[in-house]
Structure 1
Amino acid sequence: MALALCLQVLCSLGGWLSLYTSFCCLNKHRSYEWSCRLVTFTHGVLSICLSAYIGFIDGPWPFTHPGAPNTPLQVHVLCLTLGYFIFDLGWCVYFQSEGALMLAHHTLSILGIIMALALGESGTEVNAVIFGSEITNPLLQLRWFLRETGRYDSFTGDLVDLLFVALFTGVRIGVGARLLFCEMASPTPRWFVKVGGIAMYAVSWCFMVNIWRFAWRKSSKKYRAWRSRRSDEGQYRLNGHLKAH
C-alpha cells in the first residue's frame, strides 16, 4: 500500500515537472516564473474541480464526517496534489521567489496530505481544505499575468482583486472557521490532525491580514485619484465659466 502511494506521488511529481518543461519550451521568450504560474493555474483549476466533486457529490460531507476513512478518489486527488506541492515548494526554494509565509503554507500542506495518506483517514477534511485553499488560486495567477502584460490597471484588474478578496474572506476565513469548529468538536479526528487544522487556519489569517492591508491601500489610492479627478473637473468647469463671461 505504501509503495503504491509513493508511486502515485512520484507519477504526479513527474507529470507536473513535464508540464512545466513543456510550458518552458513553448514560452521561451517568457520567464521561468511565467511557466511555473501556468502550472500553478492548471493545478488550481484541476484541484478545485476534483475536490468540489468529492466534497459536494461523491462524499462524505466534511462538516459531518471529519476523520472518516479515505475513499479511493480522495487518495488519488491527495497524491496528485502532493506531487504538485512538492514540485512548487522545490521551485520556490530553488528560485527564492516566495517569503516565509508561503513556504510555511506549502510545508503544512505537504505534511497534512502525507499525514492523511499515512493514516488512511481524515482525507475528507483535507480535501475540503484543498478546495478552500485553491478556490482563490486561479484569480491570484490571473492577477499576476495581468500585471506582467500591462493590463492590471483596468476594470478587469479591479474585478479580479475584488473577487479574490471576497472569495478569500468568505471561503478560507468564513467557511474555514466552520470547518475548523466541526473538526475540533468531533471526537473522531486524531489530536495532531486537529493541531494541523489550527495551524493551517492560522496561516490563512496571516494571509488575510496582508490581503486586507493591500485592499485598503489600493482602495485609498483609487479614492484619492477619484477625488483628484473630481477636483480637476470642477476647476475646469469653473475656469470655463469665468472665461465665457
Structure 2
Amino acid sequence: LKGGAVGFVICSLIGWLCLYFLFCCTFAQRVLLTAYVVFIDGPWPFTHAGTENTELQVFALAVCLGYFFFDIGWCVCYHTEGPVMLAHHAASILGILLALLMGVSGCETCGVVFGSELTNPLLQTRWFLRKLGLYDSLLGDAVDLLFIVLFAFVRVGVGTVMFYCELTSPRTTLVMKLGGVVMYGLAWVFMVDIGRFGYKKSRAKYKRWKENHKLKEINAQKLDGHSNKSD
C-alpha cells in the first residue's frame, strides 16, 4: 500500500471505531438507566410491583421503547433475527406501552428490561470475535461461558423470583401479570436454546480434543518407531 492509501485506511479505521463506541455508549444508556432506576432510585421491584410509575421510570421506559421500536424495525427489514427474538421484542414493546399507558408497574418493567439487556454486550462481543476470526479461541469460550452463566442466573434465577413477586402482588394488574407470563416463558425458551448450544459446543470441543490427543499419541508412536529403527 502507498502512503496515501495507508492514511485512508487508518482514518477509516479510526472513524469506524469512533462510530462503534458512540453507538455502544448511546445504547448502553438504556441498561445503565434501568439499573439506576432499579437499584438506586427505586422502588424495589420485588416488594413494590404494581406501584405507580415515577418520573424517572417513565423516562427510562420511554428511552427503552424508542430503542425497541428501532431494533425490531431493523430485524424485520434485514431479517437478522428469528421468530423467538421478534416475539421477545414485540412482548417488550407491548409491556412497556402498557406500563406507560396505565401509569403503573414501571419498577418491575424496568427490572425486566435491565435483566433482559444485561447479557447483550456479550452477544455483541461474540459477534465481533466471529468477524475477526477470533471466536474459536479461549476468549470465545470465555465469552460464551460467561453469557450462559449470566443468562441463567439473571434471566432464569432472579427472573423466577421477580415473576413470583409480580404474580403474588395484589397491586399488579391482571394484564401485566399475563405479560409477565409471556416474558418468563420466552426466557425459558431462550434458556433451552442456550443449553442446547452449550451442550453441542462442549461435545464438539471434547470430540476435537479427543481426536487431537489420539493424533498426538499416533505421532509419538511413529517417532518412537523411527528412533528404534535408526538404533
- Provide TM-score, normalisation by structure 1: 0.82
Q: Secondary structure at the match of 1:160?
A: helix
Please list every run of 5 or more consecutive structure 2 residues that lacks an aligned counterpart in the other structure: 1-14
Flag the 1:42–1:217 CA change in 2: closer, same or farther, 3 A.
farther
Flag the 1:193–1:91 CA change in 2: closer, same or farther, 3 A.
same
Residues 1:81 and 2:81 aligned together: no
Shift of 1:233: 1.4
Give the Cα–Cα distance (whole angstroms) in 2 for the partners of residues 228 and 98 of structure 1: 35
Give the Cα–Cα distance (whole angstroms) in 2 for the partners of residues 179 and 244 of structure 1: 67
Residues 1:123 and 2:106 aligned together: yes
What's the CA shift string for 1:39-86, capped at 9, x where partnerless? 4x5565322211111111111111011011111111111000000000
User: Which of 149, 157, 161 does residue 166 from structure 1 map onto?
Assistant: 149
Flag the 1:114–1:165 CA change in 2: closer, same or farther, 3 A.
same
Instruction: Confirm or deny: 8 A CA contact 1:132 1:172 kept in the other structure.
Output: yes
| Aligned residue type for 1:229 | N
Residue 181 of structure 2: aligned partner:
198
Give the Cα–Cα distance (whole angstroms) in 2 for the partners of residues 232 and 153 of structure 1: 20
Flag the 1:117–1:211 CA change in 2: closer, same or farther, 3 A.
same
Which residues in structure 2 correspond to 1:56-95 (within 5 Å)?
56-95=39-78
| Aligned residue type for 1:104 | A
Shift of 1:140: 0.6
| Aligned residue type for 1:75 | V
Flag the 1:126–1:43 CA change in 2: closer, same or farther, 3 A.
farther
Residue 32 of structure 2: aligned partner:
49
Flag the 1:92–1:38 CA change in 2: closer, same or farther, 3 A.
farther
| Aligned residue type for 1:69 | E
Residue 227 of structure 1: aligned partner:
210
Give the Cα–Cα distance (whole angstroms) in 2 for the partners of residues 222 and 161 of structure 1: 13
Give the Cα–Cα distance (whole angstroms) in 2 for the partners of residues 134 and 218 of structure 1: 24
Instruction: Confirm or deny: 8 A CA contact 1:44 1:135 kept in the other structure.
Output: no
- Provide TM-score, normalisation by structure 2: 0.87
Give the Cα–Cα distance (whole angstroms) in 2 for the partners of residues 42 and 144 of structure 1: 18
Shift of 1:242: 2.6
**Comparing 204-213 and 194-203, the one that deviates more:** 204-213
| Aligned residue type for 1:62 | P
Name the larger-Rg structure.
2
Give the Cα–Cα distance (whole angstroms) in 2 for the partners of residues 190 and 142 of structure 1: 38
Give the Cα–Cα distance (whole angstroms) in 2 for the partners of residues 162 and 47 of structure 1: 24
Length, aligned pairs only: 212
Residue 7 of structure 2: aligned partner:
none
Q: Percent identity?
A: 49
Residues 1:133 and 2:116 aligned together: yes
Q: Secondary structure at the match of 1:45?
A: helix
